[in-house]
Structure 1
């Protein structure tokens, strides 16, 4: 990943307080601390129980809109599986002062699974399986559309093959991809997270706490989310994950999921030069794909 682009509209704390006074007066006086200034969004801690998610460039505004549209519908399903999501508590709307939507969300304690050992992640593999089984329900006609995530593999075939190196080391990625392209396509159109990698999974010790960052939420093939089992788990963990889905997904879906894991691995390997933690996930995922499941 290249250096993050410059903010097109950066908010000072007093400007954000003005937005809060207009949209959520009861929260406006709480302590406000800048936590992260990422690629798409700025995250502020608001008091003890809340955070504010603010787009920093126009391209990120639709991602906030996606979350505001989808998460109120999705959150109860995930809650039934014991997993939290940052469903907006306040949906800020564009104004003359700030041109894009923004959200107040609940603060969720825990840390990402980005650097957790794969063998440790196996302890919550069944919990993630239950969460995804709950999430993957039929999506309505007005669900957000994503042209890349959860689409038929054939739609990304040219992009994938153009990035695959000719080296022998890339053979497992190529093989997984080609098998997925040959598999029967999905007949489902369900809610999917759309960006389910270890950095978007919140854990506390051996417990799965939350799934976050639903900006790419969309309707599509559940195989895209199931690819996370190769990004997160070792072979025993994947076995536990798959067993816990209770035959919810057919064999072609798992074949497509493995292909998507190869796709995501390659993206992490070729676009994460400034993020060694994400590149490490790409490398370890490629190693898992080399192993026979």
Structure 2
């Protein structure tokens, strides 16, 4: 079921109070998803993006970590859409009917296909993010680094999913033989080697302006990660689409990252831990949603789409070895 969003006039009134705006405030509906919507706001001669989401708001510590990294990244030359606090200093404010609101700069951007994105530009972007990031050995608010990024699902958890009779069972079964080799690459994160990282730099979260500048969006997953592991994940997120692995682009990205002073390196199998663990955890989550009789039809349909892609892009042990070989003399 699609959530109920506030009206433009209601939101305009709420924003006037929260931000102290006077005069004309226009709120126009934008893209809507399963859990929220982005509105285009015009006030005081400026344009903003208002994110409205239904559900529990992010913790204050998580928001503080996101804002800190965004500001550091912007100072290092990374293009971001700045998050704006209200008059009380809050970056997240309550909306209507259990929703919450967050205001950003409006940036005119468009998606970019990996094949059209300069690999060197991506390498420079990640190097600047990592060079500007503070050391960070715990999740925002405390706690060890999230197991999502360094613990693969137990191998025994996959077999029951393969006997459900769903359309994807044969494809999942075909990948099971490789899972032990993939999971061998996954080792615990070393908090002493972690920086505050974006952790979700796939092609939907790095967009492009008309000028050609790359813009990083959706900082909701900021937290600790080893920079080499995020680097390895970025390479596969952008340049490995199933069997098609652009090793030349991967090498160019890696070389540009090092030339720009990025601190991470991909030199051993465990450097793919974040890639493998995140891909497998996401796939298992979507499989469970697709089989959940209590999930809405829309969420199950969305999970089916995600499963199709997740099975296609799940890396193979051979591809990890090819990447290590390609990077071996770029140090």
TM class, shorter-length: 0.7 to 0.9
Q: Give ranges in structure 2 of 5+ residues lacking alignment.
A: 163-171, 240-245, 288-300, 324-331
Where do residues 164-243 of structure 1 align in structure 2 (5 Å cutoff)?
Answer: 167-172=173-178, 174-181=180-187, 185=190, 187-204=192-209, 207-223=212-228, 225-226=230-231, 227-233=233-239, 234-243=246-255
Q: Give ranges in structure 1 of 5+ residues lacking alignment.
A: none
In the TM superposition, structure 1's runs of 4+ consecutive aligned residues that sit over 6 Å from their partners are none
Q: Give 1:257 deviation, angstroms.
A: 4.3
- What is the distance in 2 between the residues matched to 1:210 and 1:27? 30
Instruction: State the match for 1:263 in structure 2.
Output: 277
Are residue 128 (structure 1) and residue 125 (structure 2) matched? yes
Change in CA separation of 1:280 and 1:158 when aligned onto 2, cut-off 3 Å: closer
- What is the distance in 1 between the residues matched to 2:100 and 2:123? 35
Change in CA separation of 1:189 and 1:264 when aligned onto 2, cut-off 3 Å: closer
Are residue 249 (structure 1) and residue 248 (structure 2) matched? no
Q: Give 1:146 deviation, angstroms.
A: 7.7
CA deviations on 1:1-30 (whole Å, 9 max, x unpaired) are xxxx542x6311122112111012437733
CA contact (8 A) 1:150 1:222 kept: no
CA deviations on 1:250-272 (whole Å, 9 max, x unpaired) are 446x6344232233434555628
Q: Give 1:112 deviation, angstroms.
A: 2.9
- What is the distance in 2 between the residues matched to 1:148 and 1:259? 13
Give the aligned CA root-mean-square deviation in angstroms. Answer: 3.8
Please say which structure displays the higher CA radius of gyration.
2
Q: Give 1:232 deviation, angstroms.
A: 0.6
Q: Give 1:173 deviation, angstroms.
A: 5.2
- What is the distance in 1 between the residues matched to 2:277 and 2:64? 28
- What is the distance in 2 between the residues matched to 1:287 and 1:130? 24
Pick the aligned partner of 1:285 from 309, 313, 324.
313
Q: Give 1:210 deviation, angstroms.
A: 1.6
- What is the distance in 1 between the residues matched to 2:14 and 2:281? 37
Are residue 104 (structure 1) and residue 103 (structure 2) matched? yes
Greater mean deviation of Cα atoms: 217-226 or 88-97: 88-97
Instruction: State the match for 2:58 in structure 1.
Output: 62
Paired residues, what number?
A: 279
- What is the distance in 2 between the residues matched to 1:118 and 1:170? 30
Are residue 53 (structure 1) and residue 51 (structure 2) matched? yes
- What is the distance in 1 between the residues matched to 2:91 and 2:22? 13
Instruction: State the match for 1:24 in structure 2.
Output: 19
